[in-house]
Amino acid sequence: MAMDRDPATRTKSEAFWVLSGLHAVWWYRLTHVLWGWGWRFVARFIAQLVRWWTLIEIHPGATIGNRLFIDHGAGVVIGETAVIGDDCIFYHGVTLGGQGDERHGRRHPTVGNGVAIGAGAIVLGPVTIGDNSAIGAGAVVLIDVPADRTAVGMPARVLPRSSRRSRS
């Protein structure tokens, strides 16, 4: 999977040893289980160590589907109530953040299946990004993005998606 998404990765061994995005997601899987068991401090502590190591911060309370790929992941932040579908790709500096200081309820984005989020994009609040959408690099998304659309700009505006990458 990593080799399909990252043309610079030449072998499975290289992917295993050097892709920080893979390491961050693997450790997230463990911390998410600990979070579910109520071991919240331990989960947050491990997540913090992983953040120092990978420069990727994934809150253990987030819900992440299968095959999330984080390419060049430095600076990626995924908040506690974020929900991410299957087969998504995030580039460096992506933020799925909250708005305000509410302690309860949905505060972070919900990202559908097959979504690509470009470098430096910021998606804030309880917005929904539809399946197979793309968020352009540097976009600031504060509104819902329907399925099969592209959001670009600051603040983001939603456009028809002109071309779709193969997601095999």
Could you tell me whether strands 77-78 and 57-58 are parallel, antiparallel, or unpaired per DSSP bridges? parallel
Catalytic residue among 32, 92, 104, 108: 92
Closest CA to 147 of 160, 165, 163, 162: 160
Q: Let me know: does 96 contact 109? Beta carbons within 8 Å.
A: yes
The DSSP secondary structure of 10-71, one letter per residue, reads: -SHHHHHHH-HHHHHHHHHHHHHHHHHTT-HHHHHHHHHHHHHHHS-EE-TT-EE-TT-EES
Alpha-carbon distance values, 67 to 30, 39, 155 (Å): 15, 25, 29
The verdict on whether 108 is a catalytic residue reads no
The helix/strand/coil state of 74 is coil
Encoded tokens for 124: 């804030």
So which residues are the catalytic ones? 92
